[in-house]
Structure 1
Amino acid sequence: MLNEKYTAMIRNDGYFAELTPDNVPNMADVIEPAVLKGNTAVTGMLAPLVIAYGTDLVSEPPKGWADLWDERFTGQLGLYKITNSAATMMAMWAGEHFGSGRDDIETAVAKFKELGPFPQIGYSAQLTPLLSQGQVAVAPIDLGEVKAMQEAGIPIDYVVPEEGMLVFDHSFSVFENSADKRLGFDYINFALSPEIQLSMAENWLIAPTNKTVELPEELQKWPL
């Protein structure tokens, strides 16, 4: 299980076994976009990426990604390191929005330099304390972290960026030559089961990819 960003780089090299409803029965119930190239992977977890902000620190919330470049947020941002897939997605967005396209990394890097200085964080769990303590006022972060902070009484809210929401996608694969392929298939089937998909949604706001999952009313307010 990895962010698809990493496994996509070796997906054409024959490392992964084909996933079908025969070896992973719950594959029959996943949404079509979740079945990845050649049936060699399935997206089992989707974590929405939103823009969080401290309600006690920000009087005018950002509306979207482009607002991060507004001077009112200078020195108040927290961002992911480029090794995190969120930073890669944001760089591609910046290349497309400010430059010639998603591959215009030179423009993206130049635009992110304009935002400095800002703390660069490897993982959401490292970014959450900075938001909670008011060390940063605005940051992209996965939706589940916002829920946890709000439940802890932290004055945090979020916006779904008007340009569109980014998503952490976690894909599952089984190595073709693994001695324990059956265990791998069973684990993926477990992760795709309606019970586990619902549990992940309820606890961490992970959007289900199993289309048979019905979200309870209390989750309807979240953009899953």
Structure 2
Amino acid sequence: MAAYTPDRRQILAALAASAATPLAASRGFAQAPSFSGRKLVSSGFGGSTMDIIQSAIFTPFDKESGAASTQVPMQSAAALARMKAEAGNPQIDMFQFSGGQEAYAKEEGLSQPLTGVSRLAKIPAGLKDPDGHWVTWAVIAEGIVYRKDKIATPPTSYKDFLKPEYRGHVAFPTITNGYGMDFLVMLARAFGGGEDNIEPGFAAMKQIKSETIFKAASDLPTLFGQGDIWIMPYDTGNTFKIQQSGLPVAFATPQEGSPAVFITACIAKGAKNADVANAAIDAMLKPEAQIEIARTMRWTASNPETRLPADLAGEVPAVDKLAQLDRGKINAMRAAWTDRWNREIAR
């Protein structure tokens, strides 16, 4: 699809708009043409998450650019299936993923390189596609969630799950939960192994296999609410939700790093509104937008230029505190490790 090129009247209109609205110019849209009357369709994650993203990113973007953005609720796997089904004639311009589907989309020729995303250069290499097909605009950081009224000194390491004083008060997710798999890998890393040597992870997990094993995030409020569970591996977003319910929990970044779950954006190949999507992705990378996402969902900012306020800095790990796992190696070993976990750990 040819790149969008504004004609002379559009350029003059954009310049007039930027001169009349200095606030918009100061927030990063002065150099972009007006998208007045243009529509942008993006996939979204549904529920309150989609509503928060709309309020923090798309609504301000629409106000400043003149576009009209809509999110279609669907989880990442369904979004990829939709992307494949509409290959050659995409009805959704832009896709958001949280499970690595953006890499598959590139490999299958379903996405196109980002163009005109001025902040793309600021994003660390590990958080974007080397060919520019996708970018991580936020990160869900995993780590240690604990009850402040039971553990006065914040935990500092995955090794802390083996402390004798926590015996009987630990919970961790089953390996079929992605966070359970990541917990196994981080235990291995903490005790000298990793993706290439998972033995230390299984050895450590065997020491706590009699503790509480749960299935999903929906179990967290009950586990912490009953008072017997003091510590578990999970993420910043769910920690925030539990805090909002009134429970005295906090998040700690382990010294081994916080495993990163990328929240990415890419554009469908042949998207009719690719130019609008590129501008929207640029807006996602704005420090102001990333601060708002950190405040409302406790997701980590991907742009290193984002400076979180003091009240957030202690609850949301900085991008340089993230631990990037080798998802390729993990996926290759997932079946074997799951089988072993079921034999040696599961009850």
Q: Same fold (TM over 0.5)?
A: yes
Equivalent residue, structure 2, for 1:17 = 112
8 A Cα contact 2:189 2:256, kept in partner: no
What are the Cα deviations for residues 137-169 of structure 1, in whole angstroms up to 9, with x where unaligned?
A: 211222244344445542223432233332332
Q: Which amino acid aligns with 1:193?
A: K
Question: Which runs of structure 2 are paired with 1:54-93 in the superposition (5 Å)?
Answer: 54-58=147-151, 62-93=155-186
Mean Cα deviation higher: 200-209 or 144-153? 144-153
Q: Distance in 1 between matches of 2:100 and 2:206?
A: 23
8 A Cα contact 2:102 2:134, kept in partner: no
8 A Cα contact 2:113 2:134, kept in partner: yes
Per-residue deviation, 1:39: 1.6
Equivalent residue, structure 1, for 2:294 = 201
Q: Distance in 1 between matches of 2:252 and 2:151?
A: 12
Q: Distance in 2 between matches of 1:136 and 1:58?
A: 11
Per-residue deviation, 1:208: 1.6
Q: Distance in 1 between matches of 2:263 and 2:219?
A: 19
Q: Which amino acid aligns with 1:122?
A: A
Mean Cα deviation higher: 131-140 or 98-107? 98-107
Q: Distance in 1 between matches of 2:294 and 2:313?
A: 11
8 A Cα contact 1:75 1:116, kept in partner: no
What are the Cα deviations for residues 110-162 of structure 1, in whole angstroms up to 9, with x where unaligned?
A: 54344224222333x54244223325221122224434444554222343223
1:159 maps to which of 252, 264, 268: 252
Equivalent residue, structure 2, for 1:2 = 97
Mean Cα deviation higher: 135-144 or 25-34? 25-34
TM-score, normalised by the number of residues in structure 2:
0.52
Q: Distance in 1 between matches of 2:276 and 2:181?
A: 32
Matched, 1:102 2:195: yes
TM-score, normalised by the number of residues in structure 1:
0.75
Give the aligned CA root-mean-square deviation in angstroms.
3.3
Could you say which structure has the greater relative contact order, defined with CA pairs below 8 angstroms and 6 or more residues apart?
A: 1
Residue 3 and residue 63 in structure 1: after superposition, are their counterparts in 2 closer, same or farther (change >3 A)?
same
Matched, 1:122 2:216: yes
Mean Cα deviation higher: 196-205 or 25-34? 25-34
Q: Distance in 1 between matches of 2:201 and 2:103?
A: 22
Equivalent residue, structure 2, for 1:191 = 284
SS in 2 for 1:47: strand
- The gaps in structure 2 that reach 5 residues or longer are 1-95, 319-347
Q: Which amino acid aligns with 1:208?
A: A
SS in 2 for 1:56: coil
SS in 1 for 2:254: coil
8 A Cα contact 1:53 1:138, kept in partner: yes
Matched, 1:174 2:271: no
Residue 75 and residue 156 in structure 1: after superposition, are their counterparts in 2 closer, same or farther (change >3 A)?
same
Q: Distance in 2 between matches of 1:136 and 1:60?
A: 16
SS in 2 for 1:169: strand
Matched, 1:213 2:306: yes
Per-residue deviation, 1:26: 4.1
